Structure 1
Amino acid sequence: MNHRLEKLAGWLKHEQMELAMIQDPANLFYLTGFECEPHERLIALFAFPGEEPFMILPKMEMDRLKDSGWTYGITAYEDTDNPWATISSLLDDRKLLPFQSAAVEPDHLSYARAQSLLRLSPEAKLISASPQLEAMRAVKDETEIRSAKKAARFADMAVETGIEALKPGCTELEVVARIEYEMKRQGIREMSFSTMVLFGEKSGDPHGIPGTRRLQEGDLVLFDLGVIVEGYASDITRTVAFGSISEEANRIYETVRKAQEAALAQCRPQTPMMEVDRAARRVIGEAGYGAHFPHRVGHGLGISTHEYPSLHGNNSDLLSEGMIITVEPGIYVPGIGGVRIEDDLVITAEGHQVLTRFPKELQIVE
């Protein structure tokens, strides 16, 4: 059994739980190496404290599971089958019916599936496995960090591609298309999330939606994007100016850049995560823009673009060596636009290493 499954099994034993049912595709990839998109069909890993795990999944996915390196039990079903009847039989064969408790992922367990699981053992307690899985995934090993570094390099390339695509009158969506086309040419199958390119006043929306807004002289241009490499995501934000920049927009940019520098200076092992957020917020507040920084300073990054930890001003959890996080302060002013600068970094024994390398000095694109 791989060490991740062994760690989960050890946790189940320590917590005196008979089984875990894992469905989140990110957790399945982390534990098994199997990349899946279940749609409406059930794909689940059943893990136990003292027995080998098994996977249940549609028959059409079975060969891909084998190709991923999975060597334990596989139960495949047809669309006409009832997978819960099969699960019941498999648990009964292991003398696990009825069970007293099961670990599940509350955010990924539908009411219907919770009911199906509880029909197998009506008195059982369902207990969240999410904190344990989040803690396991938060600290990356060397292989994960190598993949994250590759993803960061492609993110840098994607920003450069987007800047090269800026021409008077082009639309946000045209620039998005250019970025994603180039990434496909480079062998990138999947972006981390919907690529964001926002012009002018639209850059003042932290989660704006690219459209047909055309590029004009004096616009701020905000890029927020990432790619998936070997199952791991990158996430970068850069803001540039097109043609020229107003005095206030320049002041906003420099404030965000200094805020990010202050936040990065806090990124080292054993630092409370709140201190990273507060460092950036102090700089922005002292510049008079505190009301225009509406989000946390960063988040964990890995198989999912947003995962544990959450770097906000009330989180007293400590940064640990091996964590990969983002640091992304921003200022968003209606009528002017917004600036966000975001990097991916890994916490190291000495402090941190920034993985995204695209320059952060203000660029005015001609």
Structure 2
Amino acid sequence: MTEHYQHRLNTLKKHLEQQQVELAIVKDPKNVFYYTGFNSDPHERFMALVIDLKKQSHHLFVPSLDLEIAEEQSFVKEIIPISDEMDPYQILKNTLGEGFQTIGLETKTISLYHHEQLNKYFPDYRYKNIGEFISRQRMRKTQEECEKVQHAIHVIEKVMGEGIKRVKEGMAEQELTAELEFLMRKFGADGPSFSTIVLSGAKASLPHGMPDNKPITKGDFLLIDMGVIVDGYCSDITRTFVIGEETEKQREIYDIVRKSTETGVAAAKAGIPIGQIDRAARNVIKEAGYGQYFNNRVGHGLGIEVHEEPSVHENNELVVESGLLFTVEPGIYIPGFGGVRIEENVYINEDGTARLLTTFPTELMRIG
């Protein structure tokens, strides 16, 4: 795996040189992981991969309490620990010296506070945004990265299969959520990749609703949207079930969403604008007369983070290429009635065809 980190760093350094960046500070913990293999959440403490283009060197600055694990995991071996009583920006200056005029920063990650601290120790520096380049670099997944996501999908599908066996009428959404998150750990996940969504009945119309004490009752739609992190990579799938027998309208809505998801997946291939995938899935719902009840994008990139580039929305003209990995998750959400979402994960192979990574059935399943 070490050659992957070297290749990633070399690609970034080449871009920095083209942009005439003298110093790059990579602060987003997920980007640090991408380039070094060190996976950590520093919370409020300072952590950064710093690339000095003048000296052709790189350092990993970490909180002192993470030094041991950083030494074990990081491809970058020049590691500078910072204890809690130290000023990290003073340490940065002491380590790197002065005279940097152009600094590369991820502008979505750097706060005004960080900017002020950099100004204090590197006065009059100019910055260039390197965040967009890093996002584009991360967007193209290698086969090895795809396999990591595939493993995380395998775990969450196992959780889904076992979890729905535990659903009982009258059970609270929160109780089922706890069961699912227990199974995630049991089956080898590092944890959920986002807050597990379990919604029943009318609440299923809330695309990002929160599970609460509402009991799961007969006749409800049961929407489960969840994922796990395994070895630094995420999965994200959604399935919608019905408790007992579905009504005619529930069946109608379910079948439309299922067809929409299948159509979106079938549209995925290299060489087209990615917005075409959204439009293909969306048109199925529009033509069935439910367009007003689907008002979000059809999908998003998936990898080290559960939401990353590309954004699969109808106006995105980004050309699909091999290595993209993303979700296709259309839905119909009717306030006061409920909703359906069916989410698949797709990878674009080297030959430009789409590989469906998710295998959990999409037929409407009745529980209880």
TM-score normalised by structure 1 residue count:
0.96
For residues 53 and 249 of structure 2, what CA distance do their matches in structure 1 show?
Answer: 60
Amino acid at match of 1:352: A
Match for 1:54 among 44, 59, 62? 59
Amino acid at match of 1:42: F
The percentage of aligned residue pairs carrying the same residue is 38
Please state how far the C-alpha of 1:22 moved relative to its aligned partner.
Answer: 0.7
Tell me if the contact between 2:257 and 2:330 (Cα under 8 Å) persists in the aligned partners: yes
1:362 counterpart = 2:360: no
Following superposition of structure 1 onto structure 2, how do residues 90-129 of structure 1 map, counting pairs within 5 Å?
A: 90-92=95-97, 97-129=98-130
* 1:225-269 deviations in Å (ceiling 9; x for gaps): 000111000000000111011111111101101111111111111
Q: State which drifts further: 154-163 or 194-203.
A: 154-163
Tell me if the contact between 2:58 and 2:76 (Cα under 8 Å) persists in the aligned partners: no
For residues 338 and 182 of structure 1, what CA distance do their matches in structure 2 show?
Answer: 25
1:22 counterpart = 2:23: no
Unpaired stretches in structure 1, ≥5 consecutive residues: none
1:318 counterpart = 2:322: no
For residues 86 and 121 of structure 1, what CA distance do their matches in structure 2 show?
Answer: 12
Q: Secondary structure at the match of 1:42?
A: coil
Corresponding residue of 2:75: 70
Please state how far the C-alpha of 1:350 moved relative to its aligned partner.
Answer: 4.4
Amino acid at match of 1:2: Q
1:141 counterpart = 2:155: no
For residues 163 and 335 of structure 1, what CA distance do their matches in structure 2 show?
Answer: 24
Corresponding residue of 1:8: 12
Corresponding residue of 1:208: 209
Q: Secondary structure at the match of 1:46?
A: strand
Amino acid at match of 2:341: R
Corresponding residue of 2:296: 295
Tell me if the contact between 1:21 and 1:46 (Cα under 8 Å) persists in the aligned partners: yes
Amino acid at match of 2:71: K
Tell me if the contact between 2:60 and 2:76 (Cα under 8 Å) persists in the aligned partners: no
Amino acid at match of 1:361: E
Please state how far the C-alpha of 1:130 moved relative to its aligned partner.
Answer: 1.2
Please state how far the C-alpha of 1:15 moved relative to its aligned partner.
Answer: 0.7
Please state how far the C-alpha of 1:5 moved relative to its aligned partner.
Answer: 1.0
* 1:176-204 deviations in Å (ceiling 9; x for gaps): 11111112112222111011111110101
For residues 156 and 236 of structure 1, what CA distance do their matches in structure 2 show?
Answer: 8
Please state how far the C-alpha of 1:279 moved relative to its aligned partner.
Answer: 0.7
Tell me if the contact between 2:274 and 2:318 (Cα under 8 Å) persists in the aligned partners: yes
Tell me if the contact between 2:48 and 2:61 (Cα under 8 Å) persists in the aligned partners: yes
Amino acid at match of 2:140: V
Amino acid at match of 1:39: H
Following superposition of structure 1 onto structure 2, how do residues 170-249 of structure 1 map, counting pairs within 5 Å?
A: 170-249=171-250
* 1:7-60 deviations in Å (ceiling 9; x for gaps): 111111111110110111110110100011111110011013351200112211
Corresponding residue of 2:170: 169
Tell me if the contact between 1:162 and 1:176 (Cα under 8 Å) persists in the aligned partners: no
Amino acid at match of 1:67: E
For residues 172 and 71 of structure 1, what CA distance do their matches in structure 2 show?
Answer: 44
Amino acid at match of 1:30: Y
RMSD, aligned CA: 1.2
Please state how far the C-alpha of 1:158 moved relative to its aligned partner.
Answer: 1.7
Corresponding residue of 1:285: 286
* 1:318-344 deviations in Å (ceiling 9; x for gaps): 111111100000000112100000011
The alignment covers a number of residue pairs equal to 362
Amino acid at match of 1:76: P
Corresponding residue of 2:40: 36
For residues 232 and 2 of structure 1, what CA distance do their matches in structure 2 show?
Answer: 19
For residues 189 and 363 of structure 2, what CA distance do their matches in structure 1 show?
Answer: 27
For residues 245 and 335 of structure 1, what CA distance do their matches in structure 2 show?
Answer: 16
Amino acid at match of 2:47: I
Please state how far the C-alpha of 1:71 moved relative to its aligned partner.
Answer: 4.2
Unpaired stretches in structure 2, ≥5 consecutive residues: none
Tell me if the contact between 1:138 and 1:300 (Cα under 8 Å) persists in the aligned partners: yes
TM-score normalised by structure 2 residue count:
0.96
For residues 118 and 319 of structure 2, what CA distance do their matches in structure 1 show?
Answer: 36
Amino acid at match of 1:73: E
Corresponding residue of 2:263: 262
Amino acid at match of 1:355: L
Amino acid at match of 1:63: E
